[in-house]
A = this chain, B = another copy of it.
Amino acid sequence: MQSNLPHLQSIFTADCVIFGFSEGELKVLLIERNEYPFKEWWGLPGFFVEHNETIDDAVKRILLEHTGLKGIYMEQLYTFGDLQRHPQGRIITVAYYAMLRLEAIGNNLKPSTDYVRKAQWHPLNHLPDLAFDHKNIIEKSIEKIRRKVSHSPIAFELLPEKFTLTQLQQLYEAIWDKKLDKRNFRKKMLKYNILKELDEKQKGVSYRAAKLYKFDKRKYNKIFKNELNFSK
Are B150 and A10 in contact, CB atoms less than 8 angstroms apart? no
Besides A8-B49, A54-B83, A92-B92, 10 other A-B contacts (C-beta < 8 A): A1-B89, A2-B11, A2-B90, A5-B48, A53-B83, A79-B94, A151-B228, A178-B230, A178-B231, A192-B227
Chain B residues near A172 (CB, 8 Å)?
230
Nearest neighbor of A169 in chain B, beta-carbon distance: B230
The complex places the Cα of A172 from the Cα of B230 at a distance, in Å, of 8
The complex places the Cα of A149 from the Cα of B146 at a distance, in Å, of 18
Are B226 and A81 in contact, CB atoms less than 8 angstroms apart? no
Closest Cβ–Cβ distance, residue A151 to chain B (whole Å): 4
Q: Is A203 an interface residue (CB 8 A)?
A: no
Number of interface residues of A (CB under 8 A): 48
Query: Which residue, A55, A79, A226, has most C-beta atoms of chain B within 10 A?
Result: A79
Q: Which residues of A contact B (CB under 8 A)?
A: 1-2, 5, 7-12, 48-55, 76, 78-79, 81-83, 88-92, 94, 146, 149-151, 155, 172, 176, 178, 180, 185, 188, 192, 224, 226-231
Chain B residues near A192 (CB, 8 Å)?
227-228
Chain A to chain B contacts (Cβ below 8 Å), 22 pairs: A1-B88, A1-B89, A2-B90, A5-B48, A7-B50, A9-B11, A10-B12, A10-B49, A10-B51, A12-B12, A55-B79, A92-B92, A150-B226, A150-B228, A151-B226, A151-B228, A172-B230, A178-B230, A178-B231, A192-B227, A192-B228, A224-B227
Are B185 and A50 in contact, CB atoms less than 8 angstroms apart? no
Chain B residues near A5 (CB, 8 Å)?
11, 48
Are A79 and B81 in contact, CB atoms less than 8 angstroms apart? no
